[in-house]
Amino acid sequence: MTTDLSAPQVSGDTTTAGRGKRPRPPFGVSAVGILAVLTALFSLLPLGYVIFMTGVTGWDTAVTLVFRPRVGELLLNTVLLILITVPLCLVLGVGGAWLVERTGLRGNKWWAVLLAAPLAVPAFVNSYAWVSAVPSLEGLWSGVLIATLSYFPLVYIPAAAALSRLDPAIEQSAASLGLGAWRTFFRVVLPQLRIAMTGGALLVALHLLAEYGAFAMIRFDTFTTAIMIQYRSTFNGTAGNMLASVLVFFCLILLLLEGRSRGTARYARVGSGVQGKALRLPLRSYQLPAQLSLLALTVLAFGLPLWVVLRWTLAGAGSWPADEFIPALLQTLGYGLAGAAVTIVVGFPMAFLAVRYPSWFSKALELSNYITSSMPGIVVGLAFVTVSIRVVPGVYQTAGVLVAAYVLLFLPRALVNLRSGLAQAPKELEEAAQSLGRPPLLSFIRVTLRLTAPAAAGGAALVFLGIVNELTATLLLSPNGTRTLATQFWSKSSEIDYVGAAPYALLMILVSAPMTYLLFQQSKKAAGQ
């Protein structure tokens, strides 16, 4: 253990210093803390809405509405969907990551990108493509097919990033002790992927709970589709509110299960020297089956949707209505850019506290945002509809309310990146700038903000991707006359106008593709930190 002789010396009451009493933060930090607290309180609005509506409904009515056959049917559908889809995504995601990162797979760099590409296709666009290709698709197994092909990259991306950074010395030690390739994988490699796997599984499960468009197209009832039907028929009726409360409870259970299954173990290399390069397992006779398997998966998850969208787009190339097409693109870009910018600004105070002044308090503030982001967009949308109508009716169906909903839904995407950027801009650099005569505010702007800018840009790009593909909250909250790519696509596809919906789907894929690639590259960099 060494002592940092460059640290500032503390004079005065040595007893207080010995007890580790922290100095009071300056006024600027206190102001940042107030902003972070306000953000956390605001982010709890959807949860407060669910609790309030449950209390207003009354115990007897709530019990009657929750414990009825329809809720049992929706619960069974949802549980079966999660129990079947999540393991399939884990197998495809981890298996694909292992082939790309740890075997002699030919063209592994191309496959690394292609396996992440399906994330650029929104699930409701994927469903549209499959329904137009196979009109008889409906029910649970169709939902499992579409959801698995849409969401397995959520497991593949973190698993590939983790595999690329695992120290091969442990595997080499296992091999020297006589363990074969398969036993080494299951006993050594797989346990080290637990964090990536549980995190990816949680993301898949939460997306399954939140998805509306993909399941509505194949007439598969889930809580989200049932809530939307209730909302449209009774305008935020009591039955819909109770379904929302059950859905939120389900989300919280998933969060607790993920935290428990993740455990407290951490896998990191702490010894001296440079980490060795992993030896790739030769596939030999399995090379062709591996190539064909990945080709089939990529064609089904990305090739077929893209082909169907292109086919319908070319079929109607001469009949695109410019007065609908161009405004939808511009409004999507406008809401995406505005929502991304606001989310970064709102998330910065919370990320700043978490990095510069870590404590149980800053962790609690962060947790409030993750709880809200785990809720489906329809619950967030219903909360804003109810609050805006009852409390501030003048803001109902305004652009500000819609952007605020986007902020709550996608704030964690910004927080993760902002924390990473701030961690690479330690406060000692600001202190050095101040020692050279720079004012504190100028030092903060020219040092900290400058170093954080790349990470903030990455977080903004991920928020932008989420906004472009968001459907349910946009349908509930968008001002009259709003036309985004997602809502216009949904309007056309709901009318079975596949030709009219195709250009909107194609644009969403084209806009999402570079953001998906950015997500893949950032996950690799994050795993290396």
Q: How far apart are the C-alpha atoms of 173 and 279, rounded to whole Å?
A: 13
**How confident is residue 64, by pLDDT bands cut at 50, 70 and 90?**
confident
Helices (H), 321-398: 322-356, 360-373, 377-390
> Which residues 6+ apart lie within 8 Å of 275 measured at CB?
167, 168, 169, 269
**Which CATH code is given to the segment(s) 319-529?**
1.10.3720.10
Helix 450-469 vs helix 322-356: crossing angle, to nearest 10: 140
Write out the two tokens for 380. 């967030």
Residue 83 clears pLDDT 90, i.e. is over it: yes
Give 377 or 18, the one with higher predicted confidence. Answer: 377
**What is the tens place of the pLDDT at every residue in 207-245?**
898 889 999 999 999 988 888 887 777 654 677 778 888
Query: What was the pLDDT predicted at 152?
Result: 94
> In this structure, what DSSP letter does residue 445 have?
I
- CA 83, 188, 270, 454 dihedral sign is negative
| pLDDT higher at 18 or 327 | 327
CA distance 24 to 39: 22
Least trusted range by pLDDT, from 26-30, 247-251, 337-341? 26-30
Residue 311: pLDDT band with limits 50, 70, 90: very high
User: Tell me: the pLDDT tens digits for 457-492?
Assistant: 878 888 888 898 888 889 888 888 888 999 999 988
What is the model's pLDDT at position 462? Answer: 80
| pLDDT score recorded for residue 176 | 65
Model pLDDT, residue 370: 75
Q: Provide the β-strand partners of residue 281.
A: 103
Q: Cite the residue boundaries of each domain of the chain with CATH code 1.10.3720.10.
A: 68-265+285-315, 319-529
Burial class of 168 by CB neighbour count within 10 A (0 to 12, 13 to 18, 19+): middle
Q: pLDDT value at position 84?
A: 96
Hey, is 161 helix, strand or coil? helix
Q: pLDDT value at position 521?
A: 73
- How confident is the model over 165-192, as pLDDT tens digits? 776 666 666 666 666 666 777 777 777 7
pLDDT at 5: 40
Half-sphere exposure of 336 (CA within 13 A, CB side): 26
Per-residue pLDDT of 255-309, as tens digits, reads 777 767 765 555 544 444 445 566 677 888 889 999 999 999 999 999 999 999 9
CA 209 to chain centre: 13
pLDDT of residue 278: 61
Supply the mean pLDDT for the chain: 80
Q: Percent of the chain scored above 90 by pLDDT? A: 24
Q: Check residue 23 and give left, alpha or beta (phi > 0: left; psi -120 to 50: alpha).
A: beta
State pLDDT tens for residues 189-206.
777 788 778 878 888 988
Tell me what pLDDT residue 294 has.
95
Bigger pLDDT: 8 vs 445: 445
Q: What are phi and psi of 358, to 5 degrees?
A: -65, 135
Q: By C-alpha distance, which of 484, 324, 330 is closest to 406?
A: 484
Tell me the average pLDDT across 415-420. Answer: 76
DSSP-assigned beta bridge partners for residue 103: 281
Average pLDDT of the residues in 501-525: 82
Q: Report the half-sphere exposure of 384 (CA within 13 A, side-chain side).
A: 31
Query: CB 250: neighbour CB atoms within 10 A?
Result: 20
pLDDT band of residue 433 (cuts 50, 70, 90) is: low
For residue 179, the model assigns a pLDDT of 65
Expressed in angstroms, the distance from the first to the final Cα of the chain is: 23
Percentage with pLDDT > 70 across the chain: 80
Please give the pLDDT value at position 270: 45
Q: What angle do CA 305, 320, 301 make, to 5 degrees?
A: 5
CATH code of the domain made up of 68-265+285-315: 1.10.3720.10
Convert the pLDDT of each residue in 312-366 to its tens digit: 988 877 666 667 788 888 999 999 999 999 999 998 888 888 777 888 887 788 7
* pLDDT band (50, 70, 90) for residue 48: confident
Residue 18 pLDDT class (50, 70, 90 cuts)? very low
